[in-house]
Amino acid sequence: MVEDWIANTYRGMSRRQFLAGMGAVGVGLAGYAIAATPVAGQVVSTPADRLATADGKVPIGDFSIPIYEARPAAAGRYPVVLVIPEVFGMHEHIKDVTRRFAAAGFLGITFEPYAREGGVLHLPDIAAVRKVVDPIPDDRVMADLDAVAAYAKSHPAAQADRIGVTQGALFRHFPDKEAIWLAVFAWVRESLGAVFATAMEKSKSPLAKIEQAFLAHVAFIAANPGVPRVMFHELQYPGDSPVRAEVRTMITAYRKRLGMLFAQAKAAGEAKLREFARGEARATFCFPGNPLVAAEEKLTVACVRDGVDGDWIIRSATHELSGGGYTCRVEAEAPGALGGKDEED
C-alpha cells in the first residue's frame, strides 16, 4: 500500500489543497495517529446526516472482514481514503474518523483487523490488548488491507484511480519515517525500471527506444504525480542520508540508461551517414524551379547535413508548374554511387 499512498493520495490536487481539505475536518496529514484509548469515540461524534453509511463484510479466503464505510449521500464517485485502525481496532472513534472523511467529500472505508481474534475492546488493559495484537503478522494485516482496497476500487461510488491510506497507519509496519521513504523509493525504482523495460521491447531502433522511454516516463509521472515532488523535495535537504543516497543512486542509474540509448542512437546515425557518404547513395531533391536544371548536370547541395551536402549528379529532372508555383524535382546520385536511396524533400 505504500505505492498507493505516494502515487495517488494527492492526485488531481496539490499537497496544499489536500492538507486544506483534511484541515476542514480536523485531520492533519501528519496527525493521522488515532486516539490512545477507545474512550475517545465518546468525545467527538460526526453526524451522519447528509452521509451514506453502512456496515459490511469483505471476503478473504474462508473469512470475511467486517468493514464500515461512509460517503456523501449525493450520488457520484468520490476519492477513497482507507482509514486504518490503531491498536484498539475498528471502534467508534475510528468510525467517526471515517465519517469525517465522508463529510469532506471522500469515500471512507475502515475495517476490523482483529476480527479473527474476536476483537480487543473487551480486554481489561493495554497489556492484554498487546498480547493479542503484537503476534499478528504484518503480512496478514496487509493482505486484509489489499482485500479492502480491492473492494474499494470496485465500489460504485469510488474513483478507483484515487485511493490513499491514512499516513499514521504506515508507521504500524515500519520502524521510522526513513524506512517508509526507503520503501517508497525502492518501489519507484522497481516500477519505473519495469515501465522502461516494457517500453524498450516495443521498438528496435535506438531513436525509437528514446521516444518510447520519453512517453513511458510521462505516463508514469501522470499516473504517479507525487513521485517527482517527494524526490526533489528530499534532495533539497543539506548533507546526506540513506534516503537521499537512494534517490541519487536511482537518478544516476536513470541518467546512465538514457545516456546509453543516446550513445546507441548517435552511433547508428553516424554509421548510416558514413555509409551514405561513401557514394552508395541516391536521393530525390525538390526545390524552387530553375530552367537550367537538367540530367547529367552537377547539383551542389549545401546547409542540409553532413553526408548530404556536396556535389551530386542529376540523373533525371522534372519541371512542374502548378497552383503551388514552379518547382523542380530531381533524381540524383553521389559520384560513384553503387546503389541505395535516400529521400530529401
Extract the C-alpha cell encoding 190: 522497481
Backbone angles phi, psi at 170, to 5 degrees: -60, -30
Residue 284 confidence (pLDDT) above 70: yes
> Given this model, what pLDDT does residue 117 score?
93
Backbone torsion region of residue 193, taken as left when φ is above 0, otherwise alpha when ψ lies between -120 and 50, otherwise beta:
alpha
> What number is the average pLDDT over the span 57-79?
94
Q: How confident is the model at residue 68 (pLDDT cuts 50, 70, 90)?
A: very high
Residues 6+ apart with CB under 8 A from 76: 157
Say if strands 342-344 and 310-322 run parallel, antiparallel, or are unpaired.
unpaired
- The mean predicted confidence, pLDDT, of the chain is 77
> What number is the average pLDDT over the span 77-101?
90
> Given this model, what pLDDT does residue 171 score?
57
Residues 6+ apart with CB under 8 A from 193: none
- The pTM score is 0.45
In the sheet that 310-322 helps form, which strands lie side by side, from edge to edge?
A: 298-301, 310-322, 325-333, 282-288, 342-344
Specify the higher pLDDT residue, 338 or 315. Answer: 315
> Given this model, what pLDDT does residue 44 score?
59
The fraction of the chain above a pLDDT of 70, given in percent, is 77
Cβ atoms of residues 82 and 145 within 8 Å: yes
> What number is the average pLDDT over the span 196-202?
82
On the CB side of 256, CA atoms within 13 Å amount to 7
Superfamily of domain 2-173: Alpha/Beta hydrolase fold, catalytic domain (3.40.50.1820)
Give me the residue spans of the domains in the chain. Answer: 2-173, 184-276, 279-344
Extract the C-alpha cell encoding 107: 469515500
CA nearest neighbour of 82 among 174, 163, 173, 184: 163
Q: Lowest-confidence range among 71-75, 92-96, 213-217, 231-235?
A: 231-235
Q: How many CB atoms lie within 10 A of CB 114?
A: 19
Specify the higher pLDDT residue, 176 or 73. Answer: 73
